[in-house]
Homo-oligomer: A and B are copies of this chain.
Amino acid sequence: MVERPFHHGNLRAELLDHAEAVLREDGADGVSLRDLARRAGVSHGAPRSHFVDRQALLDALAVRGFERLGERLREVGAVDPDRAADATFEEAVQRVARAYVDFAVQDAALMELMFAAKTDHASAAVERAAAGLFATFDELLDQHRPDQPMDPHDRQRFGLLFAAAVQGTASLVGSRRISADQGAALVDDATGILVRTFFPTLRPAPAGERPPAAPRSAG
């Protein structure tokens, strides 16, 4: 009844919420366990009950990031049953790619955490979450092309190429090497090329939206 313990099981989540806010504001360097404890109104040793060390908290943030990004991509990439598969496929790929880059723009520091360079030990939880994200790429592919299942090898290639394109754009935008607008255009361009390379029969050249020339001389 009384609010004595102040935190009855939700301290972990509250710490993560505060951490996410600080991360967005000041970057990963600004995330301090003592500061988070202060914000939550607990002693500086309290976080230790939920995170063995600072890295464990950052890893938990990364896991959350992978999960949230995956959810968003699944929302955005859902099949539209009212439209022809062909017409909707490239659009869906492009929407997913755009959502990926948008995420990186809005949460650049979180994205950096999710793809941080691993010098030594890797967190198993983070690796699992990351693998889950990449698995959704494959799911989306299968969802949209049930009539035309891809060769497993090509499916993996497409997935990796897609991942490299969106992650590369995300990295360039997140580090401010290019603008958000440039990133959106870039990722559109990349997905267009990918789709046309792997599905040359789709969209028989609407004239005006093609690269310099057809990747395959369609005649």
- For the complex formed, measure the closest distance between the CB of A56 and the CB atoms of chain B, giving whole angstroms: 14
| Residue from B127, B186, B196 within 8 A of A161 (CB atoms) | B186
By a CB distance below 8 angstroms, the chain B residues around A211 are: 154, 157, 197-198
- For the complex formed, measure the closest distance between the CB of A162 and the CB atoms of chain B, giving whole angstroms: 9
User: When the two chains form their complex, are residues A109 and B115 in contact, meaning their CB atoms are under 8 A apart?
Assistant: no
By a CB distance below 8 angstroms, the chain B residues around A174 are: 115, 117-118
Q: A131-143 vs B: 1/0 string, CB under 8 Å?
A: 0001000000000
Q: A170-191 vs B: 1/0 string, CB under 8 Å?
A: 1110111110001000110110
The verdict on A167 contacting chain B, using a C-beta distance below 8 Å, is: yes
A109 to B193: give the CA distance in the assembly, Å. 31
Tally of this chain's copies: 2
User: When the two chains form their complex, are residues B122 and A118 in contact, meaning their CB atoms are under 8 A apart?
Assistant: no
By a CB distance below 8 angstroms, the chain B residues around A190 are: 161, 164-165
By a CB distance below 8 angstroms, the chain B residues around A134 are: 177
| Residue from B127, B168, B198 within 8 A of A168 (CB atoms) | B168
By a CB distance below 8 angstroms, the chain B residues around A212 are: 151, 154, 197-198
Q: Considering the complex, which residues of chain A in the window 97-151 have a beta carbon less than 8 Å from any beta carbon of chain B?
A: 108-109, 111-112, 114-119, 122, 127, 130, 134, 151
User: When the two chains form their complex, are residues A217 and B200 in contact, meaning their CB atoms are under 8 A apart?
Assistant: yes
Can you list 22 A-B contacts with CB-CB less than 8 angstroms, sorted by A residue number? A27-B119, A108-B117, A112-B117, A118-B174, A118-B176, A122-B176, A154-B211, A157-B189, A157-B211, A157-B215, A160-B182, A163-B168, A164-B164, A164-B186, A165-B190, A167-B168, A170-B171, A193-B197, A197-B212, A197-B215, A198-B212, A200-B215
